[in-house]
A and B are shown apart, each in its own frame.
Chain A
Amino acid sequence: NAGVTQTPKFRILKIGQSMTLQCTQDMNHNYMYWYRQDPGMGLKLIYYSVGAGITDKGEVPNGYNVSRSTTEDFPLRLELAAPSQTSVYFCASSRTSGRYTQYFGPGTRLTVL
C-alpha cells in the first residue's frame, strides 16, 4: 500500500493563478481531509469528505474548493491564489471519524508570490 499520496511536492504560483493539489489514498477509507499548516501553527482543517459525493467545510475554507467523485481521490482547488495561501498543505484519510487513525500524505509546499 502506498497510503496517501500527494502531488506536487512543491509549487510556486503567481498571485491570481489557479491550481489543483492532488490527493489519492489506496486504503479504501471513507473519510478524507485537507489541512494547511502555517509556520509555528498546528493544522487547520480546510475541507473534509465523509464519502464519495459528500464534502463539508472545515475551519478555513475560503479561497478553496474540493470535490470527491471517487473514494480514492480528493483534489483541492485554489482558484485565485493569494499570498495568504502560502502554506504547507496536507491531505489525510481515515476509516471513519472520531478516534480512528488519520493517515497523512507527505504534504505540498505552496508559495504564492
Chain B
Amino acid sequence: TQLLEQSPQFLSIQEGENLTVYCNSSSVFSSLQWYRQEPGEGPVLLVTVVTGGEVKKLKRLTFQFGDARKDSSLHITAAQPGDTGLYLCAVSGNTPLVFGKGTRLSVIA
C-alpha cells in the first residue's frame, strides 16, 4: 500500500493555464514537504507545511495542508514552461522522508 498517493500522475497544459495537483494519504502527518525535480537533477525543496489548514504562497505557487493533516494540494497560477518538472510530496515524523511517486508536469509554450 502506497503511503502517499499523488494525482494526477501526468499533466500536460498550455502556458498560462492554472492547475492543481494533490497529495493524499489515510495517515496523519506532523509535516509535509513539496519538492520539485527538474530533468537530470535532484529534487529541491519548495515548501514545508506543518499546521492543519495552513496555506503558503511562493510566487505563483500556493500550497495547502488539509485540516486533518492527511492531504495537501499545490496550485499553480498562470503556469510557465519553467514550471515543468516532477512534483513530489514527502512526509516525515522521526524517520526519514517517505516520498510519493510524483506528478510529472509539462507546460507547453
Contacts and interface: CB of A to CB of B under 8 A. Distances in A.
Partners in one complex: yes
Interface in A68-111: 90, 92, 97-99, 101-102, 104-107
A15 interface: no
Nearest to A56: B96
A40 B92 contact: no
B88 A98 contact: no
A42 interface: yes
Nearest to B91: A99
A96 to B, nearest CB: 10
Contact of B44 (A40, A48, A104): A104
Interface string B31-68: 10100000011111100101000000000000000000
B56 to A, nearest CB: 13
B96 A33 contact: yes
Contacts of A31: 96
Interface residues of B, number: 25
A54 interface: no
Given A40-B101, A41-B101, A43-B88, A97 B41 contact: no
Interface in A9-54: 31, 33, 35, 40-45, 48
Query: Chain B CB within 10 Å — which of A41, A43, A58 has the most?
Result: A43
A90 B93 CA distance: 21
B42 A97 contact: no
Given A99-B30, A107-B42, A48 B96 contact: yes
30 contacts: A40-B9, A40-B101, A41-B101, A42-B6, A42-B99, A42-B100, A42-B101, A42-B102, A43-B43, A45-B96, A45-B98, A58-B96, A90-B43, A97-B92, A97-B95, A97-B96, A98-B30, A98-B92, A98-B93, A98-B94, A99-B33, A99-B48, A99-B50, A99-B92, A101-B33, A101-B45, A102-B45, A104-B44, A106-B40, A107-B40
Interface of B: 6, 9, 30-31, 33, 40-45, 48, 50, 88, 92-102
Given A33-B96, A42-B88, 18 more contacts: A31-B96, A40-B101, A42-B99, A43-B99, A44-B99, A48-B96, A90-B42, A97-B95, A98-B92, A98-B94, A99-B30, A99-B48, A99-B50, A101-B33, A101-B45, A105-B42, A106-B40, A106-B42
